[in-house]
């Protein structure tokens, strides 16, 4: 079945490891500018993304919106008898492409303008209007799948074989036929499409509850500061170098969440039951099959991920014990200690120009074509570089078919900012390659593949920097930062995936997600994954409410894609560094977009996610890094630097 254009767009908004370029002491370094309080209109243009590539003026955007409405008005006419000939079928598909191409361009412009100036209410309002309009468009095209299923398959096959102009739509059509058992009659499809009007309501309510409506607790820390523990401050203090502060932040923050556990549980229960409704109305065996079916992912892949990661928990425990020793903890680590730094902070600042040099050098193994796209991104202002007043926090990348990608940054010169740039440019190049190679119908890649290109860059960068870095202390810090990401992306997200599976299974048994069940199940899983019973890390009872602040649980079997994405990318890096053929297969994967199922595309690239091979390759990388970390620690202790 064809993916919604909104789903494809969201995949491109997804959210690294680097070291400084060597410079002589005589060279002057331009300080990283701070524009965080500067109005958007006063930011130097060279640091802003070039939205005029989309539309030179807002008036041009308005004209294109009118043109979109004109295209939409043609749907009914094109729909009449559209399966009666190859020509009519082609005309309808080309009309649909034109609508989605123009619509995504209109939406991207509004998104870019609104995100760099949240105080501009015009673009926030237009964003909502466009989202509502495209729900209507999805409904207007709801006849497509039912009509295809009414066709004689021999006739349909004849259309595809006789008219090569229909070839770009073959995969989408075959996917529709694959989903025959789950397609509803046209009127029912229209009704189900309209549920998009309230889709995501529990998620939004949860976000408002967590971030706006809940009174935030206060705590007084070792520096005598009495702090309101909003989420930003909680993250800061849970990463404190003071163990007591870490515990105080955790206990205070989650005790406050526990006060609202009934509301959090009701919202999560409502979201899971919405997933159950969609699974049952389309006649899937369960919610997992319903979620994975669209990307043609065998549920066995999901279960194998959980089993494989659990098998490798001893390797994770080995790293955790080393981390605890480096932190000087007197006995068993506690859960909150994983957020503290295992290595003394290495303060290095990078100008934006230095970051560009680092990336161009570190990603050279990917070839000249890849490097050329990076240079174009830097030169032609694909990137909105620095924070400004009222700019949305965080970072993302999004492609525009027929144009180029855009990257939102909030660059502050810290190591994390440089690594984030590497991550987002991985997404950007992926989108550019896919959009430049595939017809629109096959350009959008699914979320299952979305995090591969970004984490591939991070792994490649780490290996590059470890080869050139001379300072053992910085190398130790570099490895620890990467393994922190492995912990959070592979092990933690797999734990979340197992928890999400348990939640769905409970509602599938027509039971309710109560606070007690949610908390006890989460606590048991956390203790299993962090070695509570093995004496690796003590997980205290107050951690049990952490489920209430995980927004990804509202995204219907989404978290496992972080784990599979990083595992696949680590396996792909291993192949790319072994041979030129490995690089070529990887670039071919990026260019393939969504032209086949993600498992098939990965298999052609040399990674078979239906086997344990990719996880074994990823864990070889992890084991090598843990071993290198142990060797570095031994050298540093001999030098009395630790």
Task: Report the catalytic residues.
Answer: 424
Least Cα distance to 458 among 483, 435, 434 occurs for 483
* 3-state SS track over 596-633: CCHHHHHHHCCCCCCCCHHHHHHHHHHHHHHHHHHHHH
Residue whose token pair is 């298999």: 603
Q: Measured in whole angstroms, how far is the alpha carbon of residue 373 from the centre of its chain?
A: 21
Task: Give the single-character DSSP code of 327.
Answer: T
Least Cα distance to 493 among 234, 246, 235, 306 occurs for 306
Using CA atoms, how far residue 424 sits from 15, 54, 500, in Å, is 7, 20, 27
- According to DSSP, the residues that pair with 557 across neighbouring strands are none
Distance CA 536, CA 521 (A): 20
Contact, 586 vs 574, CB < 8 A?
Answer: no
Contact, 148 vs 176, CB < 8 A?
Answer: yes
- Report the largest interatomic distance among the alpha carbons of the chain, rounded to a whole angstrom: 81
Give the H/E segment covering residue 189. Answer: helix 186-194
User: Helix H segments across 438-509?
Assistant: 440-443, 447-450, 452-468, 472-486, 492-508
Distance CA 313, CA 316 (A): 5
Distance CA 320, CA 336 (A): 12
Distance CA 88, CA 82 (A): 5
């Amino acid at each position: 079945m064809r993916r919604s254009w909104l789903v494809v767009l969201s995949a491109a908004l997804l959210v690294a490891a680097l070291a400084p370029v060597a410079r002589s002491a005589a060279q002057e370094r331009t300080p990283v500018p701070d524009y965080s309080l500067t109005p958007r209109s006063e930011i130097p243009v060279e640091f802003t993304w070039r939205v005029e590539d989309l539309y030179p003026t807002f008036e041009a955007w308005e004209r294109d919106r009118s043109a979109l409405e004109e295209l939409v008005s043609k749907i009914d006419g094109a729909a009449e008898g559209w399966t009666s000939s190859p020509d009519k079928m082609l005309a309808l598909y080309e009309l649909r492409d034109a609508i989605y191409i123009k619509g995504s361009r209109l939406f991207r412009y509004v998104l870019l303008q609104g995100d760099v100036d949240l105080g501009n209410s015009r673009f926030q309002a237009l964003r909502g209007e466009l989202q509502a309009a495209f729900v209507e468009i999805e409904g207007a095209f709801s006849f497509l799948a039912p009509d295809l299923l009414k066709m004689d398959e021999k006739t349909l096959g004849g259309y595809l074989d006789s008219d090569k102009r229909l070839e770009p739509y073959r995969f989408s059509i075959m996917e529709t036929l694959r989903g025959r058992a789950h397609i509803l009659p046209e009127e029912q499809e229209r009704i189900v499409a309209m549920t998009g009007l309230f889709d995501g309501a529990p998620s939004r309510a949860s976000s408002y509850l967590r971030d706006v409506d809940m009174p935030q607790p206060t705590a007084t820390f070792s520096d005598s500061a009495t702090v309101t523990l909003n989420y930003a401050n909680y993250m800061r203090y849970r990463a404190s170098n003071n163990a007591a502060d870490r515990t105080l932040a955790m206990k205070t923050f989650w005790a406050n969440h526990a006060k609202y556990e009934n509301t959090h549980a009701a919202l999560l229960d409502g979201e899971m039951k919405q997933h159950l409704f969609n699974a049952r109305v389309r006649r899937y065996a369960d919610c997992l099959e319903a979620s994975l079916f669209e990307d043609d992912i065998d549920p066995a892949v999901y279960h194998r991920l959980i089993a494989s990661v659990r098998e490798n928990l001893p390797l994770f425990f080995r790293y955790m014990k080393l981390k605890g020793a480096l932190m000087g903890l007197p006995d068993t680590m506690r859960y909150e200690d994983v957020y503290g730094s295992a290595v003394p902070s290495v303060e290095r600042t990078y100008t934006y120009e230095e970051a560009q040099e680092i990336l161009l050098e570190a990603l050279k193994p990917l070839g000249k074509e890849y490097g050329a796209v990076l240079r174009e991104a830097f030169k032609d202002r694909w990137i909105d570089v620095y924070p400004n007043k009222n700019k949305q926090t965080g970072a993302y990348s999004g492609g525009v078919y027929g144009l180029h990608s855009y990257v939102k940054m909030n660059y502050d010169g810290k190591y994390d900012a440089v690594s984030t740039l590497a991550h987002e440019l991985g997404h950007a190049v992926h989108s550019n390659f896919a959009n430049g190679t595939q017809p629109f119908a096959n350009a959008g890649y699914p979320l299952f593949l979305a995090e591969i290109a970004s984490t591939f860059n991070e792994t490649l960068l780490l290996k590059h920097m470890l080869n050139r870095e001379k300072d053992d202390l910085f190398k130790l810090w570099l490895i620890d930062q990467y393994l922190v990401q492995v912990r959070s992306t592979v092990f933690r997200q797999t734990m979340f995936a197992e928890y999400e599976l348990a939640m769905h299974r409970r509602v599938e048994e027509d039971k309710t997600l109560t606070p007690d069940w949610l908390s006890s199940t989460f606590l048991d899983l956390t203790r299993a994954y962090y070695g509570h019973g093995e004496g690796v890390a003590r997980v205290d009872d107050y951690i049990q409410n952490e489920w209430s602040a995980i927004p990804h649980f509202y995204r219907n079997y989404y978290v496992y894609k972080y784990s599979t994405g990083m595992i696949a990318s680590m396996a792909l890096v291993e192949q790319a560094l072994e041979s030129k053929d490995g690089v070529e297969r990887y670039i071919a994967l990026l260019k393939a977009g969504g032209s086949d199922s993600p498992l098939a595309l990965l298999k052609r690239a040399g990674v078979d996610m239906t086997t344990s091979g990719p996880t074994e390759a990823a864990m070889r990388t992890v084991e090598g890094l843990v071993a290198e970390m142990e060797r570095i620690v031994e050298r540093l202790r001999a030098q009395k630097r630790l």
